[in-house]
Amino acid sequence: MAKRIDVSGLSAYYGTTKAIEDISMTVEPRSVTAFIGPSGCGKSTFLRTLNRMHEVIPGARVEGKVMLDDDNLYGANVDPVAVRRTVGMVFQRPNPFPTMSIYDNVAAGLKLAGVKKKSVLDDVVEKSLKGANLWKEVHTRLNKPGAGLSGGQQQRLCIARAIAVEPQVLLMDEPCSALDPISTLAVEDLIGELKSQFTIVIVTHNMQQAARVSDRTAFFNLAGVGQPGKLVELDDTQRIFSNPSVQATEDYISGRFG
């Protein structure tokens, strides 16, 4: 179910401003890859290019190639809507649909894909909520609004919603930055379990988190304010945090800047 991501020569723009420049990297399937770097270095922008969410911002565009196994996500005939069904996303702030129940939130993606059969939906909702370690907490109140859950539960609800459509890749944009330490731990444990099925890419500001959850870590940096962000290096997480090959990475992870 998981696929490999192969990015080559990717740049992204907001209007005329170049946000990231010439990024190439490979993300291995069934692994967790963490993006770290100072604010404004373009790691979130880059993440959003991987499911074509970057271009929903007016004036935003992308150059370059993103291969998902053998398919170019930016190919001429590729529908961005189809891409987003294959590459799921979890956002910085938990964003369950406020007008929907817990059940409907999880089923939303399937309903969009045209699944109507109640029995199928029931199964997937249960499986996804179990997959997101949320089933035990909510199975008695599936018809209650999703917005009534705690922040950590909401974020796991969003993860359940994302995995319900069985994507190939799961992108997470600082999924724990709005959560307390206990909820963060719950989400981190969940990431560890999900990587057996999905290719996971996570943006994080928290270097300890990157070290805890990821197999590979990419460090992004920018030359200065107004300069586009660039990929500095991508390596095994252990190497990045013990013996990085670039001086800037070492400076960043040892807290000398950023």
**Minimum CB distance to other proteins smaller for 102 or for 240:** 102
Burial state string for 185-212 with b = 16 or more CB within 10 A and e = fewer than 16? ebbbebbeebbebbbbbbbbbbbebbbb
Q: Does residue 98 touch other proteins according to CB under 8 A?
A: yes
Q: Does 108 bind other proteins (CB under 8 A)?
A: yes
Q: Which one of residues 27, 34, 68, 89 is an interface residue with other proteins (CB under 8 A)?
A: 89
Give the length of the chain.
258
Footprint (CB under 8 A) of other proteins, residues 148-187: 148, 158, 161-162, 165
Task: Determine the 3-state secondary structure of 250 from DSSP.
Answer: helix
Nearest-angstrom CA–CA distance, 24 and 9: 5
Q: How far apart are CA 102 and CA 154, in angstroms?
A: 9
Contact flag: residue 106 with other proteins (CB under 8 A): no
Residue 49 as a binder of other proteins (CB under 8 A): the answer is no
Helix (H, G, I), strand (E, B) or coil at 111: helix
Binding mask 6-45 for other proteins (x = CB under 8 A): ----------------------------------------
Residue of 166, 170, 156, 162 whose CA lies nearest to 33: 170
223 binds other proteins (CB under 8 A): no
Contact residues toward other proteins (CB under 8 A) are 51, 53, 56, 58, 81-82, 84-85, 88-89, 91, 93, 95-101, 108-109, 112-113, 144-145, 147-148, 158, 161-162, 165
